[in-house]
Amino acid sequence: MFAKGISFALNGLDGIQVEVEVDIHNGLPKFDIVGLPDAAVKESKERVRSAIKNSGFIFPNKAITVNLAPADLKKEGAYFDLVIALSILRAEIEDLKFAEDYVIIGELGLDGLIRPLDGIMSIMISAVKGGKTKFIIPKENAQEASYIQGAETIAVENLAEVVRIFKGEQEIKYIESNVDKVFSEQEKFEYDLCYVKGQYKAKRALEIAVSGGHNLLMVGSPGSGKTMLAKCIPSIMPKMTMEEALETTEIHSVAGKLSREKGIVATRPFMTPHHTATIIALAGGGQDAKPGIISLAHNGVLYMDEMAEYPRNVLECLRQPLEDRQISVARAKLYATYPASFMLCGSMNPCPCGNLGTKGAICNCSTSSIIKYRSKLSAPLLDRIDIQLDIEGVKYEDLSSDKLEEKSELVRKRVNRVRTLQQERFEGDKITTNAQMSEVHIKKYCKLSKECDEVLKAYYEKNNLTARARNRILKVARTIADMEFSEDILPKHLIEACSYRSKGTNERKY
């Protein structure tokens, strides 16, 4: 007796098709699984045997061999429990028929209940791309599956239910598609720019940063409002597109961080790792090569509070994703690559005690300790942070309080327009925002008039800037020009771009 089924394994974000073949013949009773790591085999056999028995079926007392192909794939056993169990039962229960084009995924509990799995969305997306349309998946994964277009999916609770379905004893109910509902709800944000008093420059910087996709660093003493400002960022970012939502959901799904009720990440993530987070937690990797926090921030914001407190090696691991917008993580034999296109927003104190540069506060830090503190952020890392900003708490009662602050919703509308403009310009350049411009793009899109050149030169001489800062200033100037729908970068755009530099990250004590 021979039966076949199809399931999927996960490598990084890629679903990989796995063929399951079960051969049952009379002979000395045995139960072998070929193509799984040893430890996984033992656990899988246990679960399949118990689940079959506890669901009221008879586990055949015969020689059973299960072969999983491809064999060289390092896979987790749990994904194949259900398809193995069903294939074994087919050998015994004659009218148990299922089309072999069903993709069957599910982990079995000893009691026959089907447990949810991580990464179902990734698997289904890969499978649909490979031409598969029919799926059996755990009930608890139904929500995330409902956002996949072109799939007919049955979500099941236990082994007995699946058997009934395939025997034709139970009506098949496909899960309803939720694709249209993803963005129907009004997004609600806890933080809105209209609650931030004053900080006009910071708010402008936030708008520029989000408009051009620039990374942002805020330097300021504790309580000056850095965290508050950062938390407003999602409220002015453009709404996620379906494509972006699926990308981000996949990552959250694979990392096991997806809310089962929501099933999708439809608002931009705002990830706040703590500075004690390990490299693996941040970048991903480890035993099962799960995505790290920076990948979970994909299409959203990575907010690193107190950036200078992070260990050096943790900070430096940001370089690759900031450049490539993805990150490779290694596990025993394989590399997995996860997308990591996020806006980095960092904050730090101007000095170890935090008081430097604040009016009326005393800083007792030695110059050497300040230099050491600031040098935590290396030049290559700072090169990737286009906008750097000094923040200072203001006595807000002194500001004219009757002035109505602008709502995030309005800012977001402007941001949307500037983003669209960039997408149109960069059509064919494989980038979407000004921040992503490479040297070649900068040459092409940031041409400077003679007057602009002179302004930049004057600013450089005044501030002893290194050549490295030039590209950052140009990119930001491009965004400021875009915000005015100006084809050319004008001196005023360039000059404003120059103002987004922090005193707190250079070497002078002021």
Partner 1 sequence: MKENIDTLALILLDSLAFLSYNQKREILKNANNISDILDKEFLLSLPNIDKIDRVIEFLTRENLQKVEQEISKYTVITYLDENYPDAFWQLEDYPLCLYCLGDTTLLQSQDSLSVVGSRKTLPQVLKFVSLLVKQVAQNRVIICGNTEGVEQEILSSTMGQNTICFLGGGIEKSFNNKELFTIAQNGLIITEYYPTHLQKGYQFIDRNRLIAVLCQEMLLISGSEKSGVRYTVEFAKQNYKTLYALPYTIGEPSGELCNEEIKNGAILVNKLQDLVKVENSRPSLTEQEKIVLSLIEQGTTQEDFIIEQSNLSVQEVLQILVTLEIKDYIIKSGATTYALTKF
What letter does residue 392 receive in the DSSP assignment? -
- Residue 495: exposure state from Cβ atoms within 10 A (0-12, 13-18, ≥19): middle
In the complex, minimum distance from the CB of residue 217 to ligand ADP, in angstroms, rounded to a whole number: 13
How many Cβ atoms are within 10 Å of 92's Cβ, its own excluded?
15
Q: Is there a contact between 73 and 16 (Cβ–Cβ < 8 Å)?
A: yes
Query: What CA dihedral angle connects 28, 32, 38 and 40, to 10 degrees?
Result: -130
Taking CB under 8 A as the criterion, the residue among 69, 379, 399, 410 binding partner 1 is 399
Taking CB under 8 A as the criterion, the residue among 106, 504, 505, 506 binding partner 1 is 504
How far is CA 33 from each of CA 40, 71, 77, 136, 180, rounded to the nearest angstrom? Answer: 10, 11, 10, 22, 42
The binder of 224, among ligand ADP, Zn ion, Mg ion, none, by C-beta within 5 to 8 A per type, is ligand ADP
**Choice between 170 and 272, CB closer to Mg ion:** 272
Residues 410-429 that bind Zn ion (CB under 5 A): none
The binder of 277, among Mg ion, partner 1, ligand ADP, none, by C-beta within 5 to 8 A per type, is none
Beta bridge partners of 255: none
In the complex, minimum distance from the CB of residue 275 to Zn ion, in angstroms, rounded to a whole number: 18
Show Cβ contacts of residue 486 under 8 Å, excluding neighbours closer than 6 positions. 493
The verdict on 307 binding ligand ADP (CB under 6 A) reads: no
Taking CB under 5 A as the criterion, the residue among 365, 382, 391, 481 binding Zn ion is 365
With contacts defined by CB under 5 A, name the span among 140-148, 227-235, 328-336, 434-442 that binds Mg ion: 227-235
Residues 350-389 that bind partner 1 (CB under 8 A): 350, 357-359
Taking CB under 8 A as the criterion, the residue among 173, 262, 403, 447 binding partner 1 is 403
With contacts defined by CB under 6 A, name the span among 81-89, 116-124, 191-199, 266-274 that binds ligand ADP: 191-199
- What amino acid occupies position 466? T
The verdict on 407 binding partner 1 (CB under 8 A) reads: no
What letter does residue 158 receive in the DSSP assignment? B
Query: What CA dihedral angle connects 118, 146, 157 and 13, to 10 degrees?
Result: -20
Strand residues in 204-332 grouped as ranges (E): 216-220, 270-271, 284-285, 290-291, 301-304, 326-330
The verdict on 141 binding Mg ion (CB under 5 A) reads: no
Taking CB under 5 A as the criterion, the residue among 9, 145, 206, 351 binding Zn ion is 351
Dihedrals φ, ψ of 64, to 5°?
A: -115, 130
Q: What is the largest CA-CA distance in the chain?
A: 90
What letter does residue 58 receive in the DSSP assignment? P
Closest CA to 105 of 5, 16, 21, 7: 7
The verdict on 143 binding ligand ADP (CB under 6 A) reads: no
**DSSP line for 461-489:** HHHT--THHHHHHHHHHHHHHHHTT-SSP
In the complex, minimum distance from the CB of residue 200 to ligand ADP, in angstroms, rounded to a whole number: 10
Taking CB under 6 A as the criterion, the residue among 109, 222, 238, 286 binding ligand ADP is 222
For residue 70, say if its preceding peptide bond is cis, omega within 30 degrees of 0: yes
The verdict on 502 binding ligand ADP (CB under 6 A) reads: no
The verdict on 197 binding ligand ADP (CB under 6 A) reads: yes
> Distance between CA 150 and CA 138 in Å, rounded?
18
Show Cβ contacts of residue 203 under 8 Å, excluding neighbours closer than 6 positions. 193, 196, 229, 406
Position closest to ligand ADP via CB: 225
How many Cβ atoms are within 10 Å of 94's Cβ, its own excluded?
8
**Choice between 198 and 311, CB closer to ligand ADP:** 198
In the complex, minimum distance from the CB of residue 225 to partner 1, in angstroms, rounded to a whole number: 11
| End-to-end CA, the chain | 83
The binder of 225, among partner 1, Zn ion, ligand ADP, none, by C-beta within 5 to 8 A per type, is ligand ADP
Residues 208-267 that bind partner 1 (CB under 8 A): 219-221
For residue 422, the Cα-to-chain-centroid distance in whole angstroms is 22
**Choice between 155 and 236, CB closer to partner 1:** 236
The verdict on 311 binding partner 1 (CB under 8 A) reads: no
The verdict on 223 binding ligand ADP (CB under 6 A) reads: yes
In the complex, minimum distance from the CB of residue 305 to Mg ion, in angstroms, rounded to a whole number: 5
Position closest to Mg ion via CB: 227
How many Cβ atoms are within 10 Å of 340's Cβ, its own excluded?
27
The verdict on 352 binding ligand ADP (CB under 6 A) reads: no
The verdict on 158 binding Mg ion (CB under 5 A) reads: no
Query: What CA dihedral angle connects 99, 104, 107 and 110, to 10 degrees?
Result: -10
The verdict on 227 binding Mg ion (CB under 5 A) reads: yes
The verdict on 226 binding ligand ADP (CB under 6 A) reads: yes
Taking CB under 6 A as the criterion, the residue among 12, 138, 220, 346 binding ligand ADP is 220
With contacts defined by CB under 8 A, name the span among 69-77, 134-142, 335-343, 489-497 that binds partner 1: 489-497
Binding residues for partner 1, how many (CB under 8 A)?
Answer: 34
What letter does residue 401 receive in the DSSP assignment? T
| Binding interface with partner 1 (CB under 8 A) | 198-201, 203-204, 219-221, 350, 357-359, 390-392, 394, 398-400, 403, 455, 458-459, 462, 480, 492, 495-496, 498-499, 503-504, 510
| Binding interface with ligand ADP (CB under 6 A) | 196-199, 220, 222-228, 393, 396
| Binding interface with Mg ion (CB under 5 A) | 227
